[in-house]
Structure 1
Amino acid sequence: MSAAAVFFSMSSSLLQGGAPLSSYYSSKPVKPSKPFYSFSSTRTPLPLLVFSLLCLFIGLAGTLFAVYSIRRDQPLPVFRCGKSDDTFRAFYSSSDSAKLGDDSNKGLVDRPKLLGFVGIQTGFESGERRAALRSTWFPSDPEGLLRLEQATGLGFRFVIGKSKDAKKMTMLEKEIEQYRDFMLIDVEEEYLKLPYKTLAFFKAALKLFEADYYVKADDDIYLRPGKSQSERSEKMTYIGCMKKGPVITDPKLKWYEKSGHLIGNEYFLHAYGPIYVLSAEVVASLAAARNDSLRMFNNEDVTIGSWMLSMNVHHEDNRAICDPRCTPTSIAVWDIPRCSGLCNPASKLKELHKIRMCSKSPTLPPDDV
């Protein structure tokens, strides 16, 4: 309120008092009018005052108890993964699924039920890798992708975040329109944010798919998806090619760990980053994590390993998912330990696909070899 408004408000209140307007311009004293209320005439008896204070105290105590109860019953805050989308989802409900002669996809539009969901992590600079994958083991058409899912019980999508570059987003939209094989998550595509992308991926995958297992895989490995088995002895399971190693504390080196002082000289047991598997119970626990309660290290595989170390999970070392060559039992083939994935992946993917053991021979369980 302005000074003028305050002034006029005060003037109005004075003019509405007990004295007539003419008294403000008269030299004769004016006898003041009797006030409406007098403290001396309205003294409250002591017993009534004590009773009023007691009622006020009881009321305040009840209000505070109610507020506390409401806050106590509220669920713990959860870190949301943001908006996520499965660009293949509409295909489940289309007439094309009926042409494949399988009615099992009916009713799966909201949250398809799978043995496992595999998210192929990719980026805006990896168009050549995606093209190589679509020319090898990853089907390049929706019908083929659905057939692979029905044959193996595994769903496959390329997982990508977002970019502030409008040109990159436009190119991605064109690729989505052509292939419909992406999962989109609300995370900036940036190397240093890979731990955040991985967490967002698992949360989005749990939201969009009902699976026994959730697999994180990079776009520079050759997968040999076969009929998988769902038998396992432990519900909380973390499967990968386990490793340990010295903590890199030199900022000039590639695998520099900024928070290395919290770890010590050697890393704890954790899986190599190109591919690892989490059971549904583990992913559900990650999805229920409170805001900012999960520590993020520089390296994504170390970050995941630290979360697994803090949870009551079973570490399963499975070398079939980190085989440097195609064998009867190999599931994932990549150049371990020379490269984090395949060296020169775009060309190496095509070379491996020409090998009969890679592309034509079925993947056998270790016991069958």
Structure 2
Amino acid sequence: MFRSSGMRNRVPSITAKSSMTSLIMIMVSFLACFYTAGRLWEDAEVRSLLVGLSDKHSVQESGLKSVDESWRMLDCKETQKRLAALEMEVAAARSQGFKLKHPAGDNSTSYKGRLHAVIGIYTSFGNRPRRDSIRKSWMPTGDQLKKLEAEKGVVIRFIVGRSANRGDSWDKLINEENNKTSDFLILENHVEGDGEVARKTKFFLSTAVEHWDADFYVKVDDDVFVNIEMLGQMLATHWDKPRVYVGCMKAGEVFSEPNQRWYEPEWWKFGDEKSYFRHATGQMYGLSRALAQYVAINSAILHEYSNEDVSVGSWMIGLDVDHIDERRLCCSSTSEGLCEKWRYIGEPCIAVYDPECGGLCDSVNRMSAMQARC
């Protein structure tokens, strides 16, 4: 009886110990799970941080490469922009039925490839003395004129229209002079007259781009002295620009009184301040090939103001154009030491005239003197 009673007392004790052991094991298991989960979470955070640092490093390396290649990329983009602009211009020209023609003739040139510049000297019927003074000073004649075209790619022609009385003595005199000199571009469809210079410019550019394929088309009056060599050098510095409008840029008062010299009948279009937009002086300016073609194609719808220089400026103002203000295109012969100053610094004047005279004062007698002075 005694042994049986002892066994009964030990059974609960063993059961209690077993329960305690199980409880401890369960707690240890839970702790192990929490520890393992915590380590896994930390590992995930570390991996995420490492991936972030790796991505950041890759971006930095990519940025460094972009800096190293930035200039080349910019050059490529600029080239692509120029090509796209030229393609648009060609497409627009073709849509208008525009074609470049280079017909042969006594006054055409045999230069191979694109010309550097076509220089048009605006003249009128009674200005033979002015033309002769230019031929004796800065403009080559005869074989030398052909040599300039063949070797330098520079064409120079006097620009004149026809008389209102077609075939009269004025037309005959121009024809006779041209037969001797072969240095005219006669605008058969333009009638010479006062206040028609803007229209003459349309005909000049339309005819010039039809006859000659050149980088630049330059207009100059027949009472302006020109240094051809310096003109060529200056234009060459702007060859890489797609659309160039170069001249002595100015702006000023719009004259609204009929008795004023530069009266503008449409003065009210320029606003209450009556001030012109920036444009090149009319004595001499140049347009790059694309702009000359633009004027030729759209001449029928381009508005003509009373003054030619304002008209040309208005045609350019709404376009994506480089306005080049070149002060050597407006040297004054009456400003003491101006020509000498430019020559001293190694940049001789390109064009010489006197604003107070609208051209070179007494140009017939003084044109040759400018050759030595400027």
Bin of the TM-score, shorter chain as denominator length: 0.5 to 0.7
Unaligned ranges ≥5, structure 2: 1-93, 334-338
The one of 200, 204, 214 aligned to 1:201 = 204
- Deviations for 1:48-93, whole angstroms, at most 9, x for unmatched residues? xxxxxxxxxxxxxxxxxxxxxxxxxxx766899xxx996422x74x
Q: Deviations over 1:184-217 (max 9, x none)?
A: 1120111211110001101111111111111011
Match of 1:169 in 2: 171
Residues 238 and 278 in structure 1, CA contact (< 8 A), matched pair in contact too: yes
**2:297 alignment partner AA:** A
Q: Distance in 2 between matches of 1:205 and 1:116?
A: 11
Measured in 2, the distance between the counterparts of 1:88 and 1:130 equals 17
Match of 1:243 in 2: 250
Residue 62 of structure 2 corresponds to none
Residue of 275, 280, 302 corresponding to 1:294: 302
Distance 1:338 1:86 in 2: 39
**Partners in 2 of 1:242 and 1:87 — Cα distance?**
36
Superposition pairs of residues 2-17 of structure 1, within 5 angstroms: none
1:61 corresponds in structure 2 to none
Partner letter of residue 314 of structure 1?
D
Distance 2:330 2:211 in 1: 27
Q: Which has the greater radius of gyration?
A: 2
Q: Which residue of 1 aligns with 2:157?
A: 157
Residue pair 2:164, 2:192 contacting (<8 A) in 1 also: no
Distance change >3 Å, CA 183–CA 268, structure 1 → 2: same
Q: Distance in 2 between matches of 1:78 and 1:253?
A: 42
Q: Partner residue of 2:91? A: none
Matched, 1:258 2:265: yes
- Structure 2 residue aligned with 1:365: none
Q: Distance in 2 between matches of 1:298 and 1:78?
A: 30
Q: Encode CA deviations 1:228-268: one digit per residue, 9 max, x unaligned.
A: 25343531110000001100000011100011111121000
* Superposition deviation, residue 351 in structure 1: 2.4
Q: Is 1:180 aligned with 2:198?
A: no
- Distance in 1 (CA, whole Å) between partners of 2:242 and 2:130 is 34
Change (3 A) 1:267 1:78: farther
Which SS does the other structure have where 1:289 is aligned? helix
Which one-letter code corresponds to 1:146 in the other structure? K
Residues 317 and 341 from structure 1, CA distance in 2 versus in 1: closer, same or farther, beyond 3 angstroms? same
Cα distance in structure 2, aligned partners of 1:79 and 1:234: 23
Tell me how far 1:131 sits from its aligned partner. 0.8
Separation in 2 of the partners of 1:206 and 1:158? Answer: 15
**CA–CA separation in structure 2 for the residues paired with 1:290 and 1:132:** 32
Task: Determine the structure 2 residue equivalent to 1:317.
Answer: 325
Is 1:280 equivalent to 2:317 in the alignment?
no
Q: Compared with structure 1, are the counterparts of its residues 88 and 334 closer, same or farther at alpha carbon in structure 2 (3 Å cutoff)?
A: same
In 1, the alpha carbon distance for the partners of 2:120 and 2:164 equals 23
Partner of 2:226: 223
TM-score by length of 2: 0.65
What CA distance in whole angstroms lies between the structure 2 residues aligned with 1:331 and 1:149? 22
Q: Among 337, 350, 355, which residue is 2:368 paired with?
A: 350
Of 211, 214, 217, 1:211 maps to 214
Matched AA of 1:224: N
Q: Give 2:181's aligned amino acid.
A: Y
Flag the 1:132–1:305 CA change in 2: closer, same or farther, 3 A.
same
- 200-209 or 330-339, larger mean C-alpha shift: 330-339
Aligned residues of 1:256 and 1:298 also touching (Cα < 8 A): yes
Change (3 A) 1:305 1:85: farther
- Distance in 2 (CA, whole Å) between partners of 1:254 and 1:78 is 40
Aligned-partner residue type, residue 299 of structure 1: N
Unmatched 5+ stretches in structure 1: 1-74, 93-104, 359-369
* Equivalent residue number for residue 59 of structure 1: none
Query: TM-score normalized by structure 1?
Result: 0.65
CA deviation profile, 1:132-163 (whole Å, cap 9, x unmatched): 1111111232x010122345331111111000
CA RMSD of aligned residues (A): 2.4
The alignment-based identity, stated in percent, is 30
Please name the residue that 1:118 is paired with.
Answer: 119
* Correspondence 1:306 to 2:309: no
